[in-house]
Amino acid sequence: MSDPSIWVLEYARSPAHPVSAVFYGAHNQGTMNLPFSYVLIKSGDVVALVDVGYDESDFGGTIAESIGVTHYTPPQQVLGECGVSPDQITHIFVTHGHFDHIGGLRFFKNAKVFIQKKELESWMWILAKGRRYRTLAAGLNPADVLHLAEINLEGRLTLVDGVLENAVPGIDLYPAFNTHTAGCQYVVVRSDKGGKLVLSGDVIYTYKNLDGGDPSDPSLVPPGLANGSQTALIECADEMLEHVDGNHRQIIPMHEERLGELFPSRTTSYGLKVVEVLLSANEQSRVEFWY
């Protein structure tokens, strides 16, 4: 893949999210707006998503309501902003099993789904441990695990075991084990025009996780929510920075509110952002007014 287009599509938001969930150790620092997004990648015949949001009509919607998520908008409408329908999605790279990243899979009947084998195994293990372990199951909709089994029986599931280069041409998957969740992965897109771009999943929520809010004396501050290790989160963030020679702007955190300022963007009629990270020579802009 040498000339992809990439958009970050906001599909909901958490307007009063605890700052301590986004930055480890940030106790008593109030709340912040946290956008919920997935990423659309188009290149040639490939129409891929990194994560898929959730389904408001099932238990994912209940979890979302319990943590104050608003503005939920279904994929038909969100992807429609880029002229794509859910049936056209060919590949889905799931960074991890939290409801807001995996719960929307049922909208995409034709897509091949890629998730780390370790992520699926770890959720099965957590569920098998029973209610006393439910702290580790926070953010999981158990029905999403069942749905992966259905997708598997349909022949659409790939259980990735570590690094997978060229999952489709130009897109690599990297494990982020023992970080935000046990079997997380992140996605690297290689392009001629935009260089390497890292789609971080929840290993990095925002750019502040990369510099601690002080670019002149940066420190890696992991997210507050982790089933794995804070040390592993810091080391994985450092690995992402190595992919992009330390250039923060080549890392795309899906919960980052400032993406709309750093890249061309527009706000939809329903109040959510479309962010154009990279535009192929063959593709029309989806953020310009004239399109």
Residues binding Zn ion (CB under 5 A): 98, 202
**Residue 84: both structure tokens together:** 């794509």
The nearest distance, CB 32 to Zn ion, in angstroms, is 16
Judged by beta carbon, residue 50 or residue 84, the one nearer Zn ion is: 50
- DSSP-derived secondary structure letter, 245: T
Cα–Cα nearest to 277, from 191, 167, 171: 191
Q: Is 50 left (phi over 0), alpha (psi -120 to 50) or beta?
A: beta
The nearest distance, CB 277 to Zn ion, in angstroms, is 20
The nearest distance, CB 6 to Zn ion, in angstroms, is 21
**Residues of 224-263 as b/e, b for ≥16 C-beta within 10 angstroms?**
bbbbbebebbbebbeebbebbeeebebbbbbbbbebbeeb
* CB-nearest residue to Zn ion: 98
Whether the CB-CB separation of 48 and 171 falls below 8 Å is answered with yes
The nearest distance, CB 181 to Zn ion, in angstroms, is 7
Judged by beta carbon, residue 36 or residue 263, the one nearer Zn ion is: 36
The nearest distance, CB 177 to Zn ion, in angstroms, is 15
Whether the CB-CB separation of 65 and 15 falls below 8 Å is answered with no
**Residue 264: both structure tokens together:** 């061309």
Judged by beta carbon, residue 6 or residue 204, the one nearer Zn ion is: 204
Judged by beta carbon, residue 206 or residue 265, the one nearer Zn ion is: 206
Whether the CB-CB separation of 21 and 206 falls below 8 Å is answered with no
Judged by beta carbon, residue 22 or residue 189, the one nearer Zn ion is: 22
Judged by beta carbon, residue 54 or residue 82, the one nearer Zn ion is: 54
Whether the CB-CB separation of 158 and 96 falls below 8 Å is answered with no
The nearest distance, CB 55 to Zn ion, in angstroms, is 16
| Number of residues assigned to the chain | 291
**Residue 272: both structure tokens together:** 């959510």
Judged by beta carbon, residue 98 or residue 286, the one nearer Zn ion is: 98
Whether the CB-CB separation of 170 and 189 falls below 8 Å is answered with yes
The nearest distance, CB 101 to Zn ion, in angstroms, is 6
Cα–Cα nearest to 64, from 34, 40, 89, 93: 34
Judged by beta carbon, residue 114 or residue 276, the one nearer Zn ion is: 114
The nearest distance, CB 209 to Zn ion, in angstroms, is 13
The DSSP line for 250-263 is: GEE-TT-TTHHHHS
Pairing of strands 164-168, 265-267: unpaired
